[in-house]
A and B are shown apart, each in its own frame.
Chain A
């Protein structure tokens, strides 16, 4: 297995912490970029993302995970993070990969990471390869509403009154809203509200695999995801979905892993 090597990558507004899994012997003609969710889900998903990246690095030469501006161990305050800045960071990441000789980019996007438009930031030297999605968020607005709900839930669990003012109104009035220790700018909330999976998944990927985690493997793909994938401009044979049995690792109190998800993802990348 390739070992993780952390390093700093120059982003548009500061240094970004990146981790690469690189097999020195392999030519870096293709690589995997892992696009993570944000806030608490990012921490919960890290072990699973690392597993998939290590697996890819070993098989195909190079995998990269970048903490976007204001998240993880990258520079910047989360309060200054916006969708536009994150998009810029993804561009920086793909440029770095291009500098490594990468010409085909595979992507693993996890949860809300699936809403960020990686396809749009690829330079002319890199062509999109295969795209894997893990439990993708289908509508940014719904995910943001659930995240903002943490304010209410926090007050409820603490047995305190309040916390029930409209968090989007709070963001508009004071420029940001504090949720579970994270300051979300009004620009981030608004930018996120506008993100829709069906629009993000621009055409051009060689193939796409969307995997969901459920109690039992036999369960069917969620109606929301099925609908989002239906409208895609991709040949039918190149879009696949799957349901894997396991715990919802992106949210469980204790770190959970679903090895089957990594295995299915490795199959996609060949």
Chain B
């Protein structure tokens, strides 16, 4: 499932606030790599991003969904949120 633009924007905004990306947030495109590419994205940041996504979208992330695949790019993270919203 491919996330629509508004979901993508919301996910980018949450990442930006949680990681304090500042102007770098605007450079994040659908295909931009997250895990391994953004130094701010450590384990604590991952937990806070997930918490913020849960609170913002009203979704619940299961333990087995905390995966590198979902955090690969902005697009995969937004697609994951979209799939949770559709579930």
Contact = CB atoms under 8 A, between A and B. Distances in A.
A215 B17 contact: yes
A99 interface: no
Interface residues of A, number: 24
A215 B16 CA distance: 11
Main DSSP-derived SS at the A contact region: loop
Interface string B37-62: 00011111111101110010000000
A152 B17 contact: no
Interface in B28-84: 35-36, 40-48, 50-52, 55, 63-64, 66-68, 71
A242 interface: no
A156 B71 contact: yes
Contacts of A154: 43
Given A159-B68, A164-B64, A248-B52, A153 B18 contact: no
Contacts of A164: 63-64
Contacts of A157: 35, 41-43, 46
B66 A156 contact: yes
B7 interface: no
A77 interface: no
Interface residues of B, number: 26
Contacts, number: 64
B20 interface: yes
Given A180-B43, A215-B13, A253-B40, A146 B20 contact: no
Contact of B63 (A152, A224, A248, A252): A152
Interface string A244-259: 0001100111101000
B3 interface: no
26 contacts: A146-B51, A147-B47, A149-B47, A149-B66, A150-B43, A152-B63, A152-B66, A153-B43, A153-B46, A156-B46, A156-B67, A156-B68, A156-B71, A157-B35, A157-B41, A157-B42, A157-B43, A166-B63, A224-B55, A251-B44, A251-B45, A252-B20, A253-B40, A253-B42, A253-B45, A256-B20
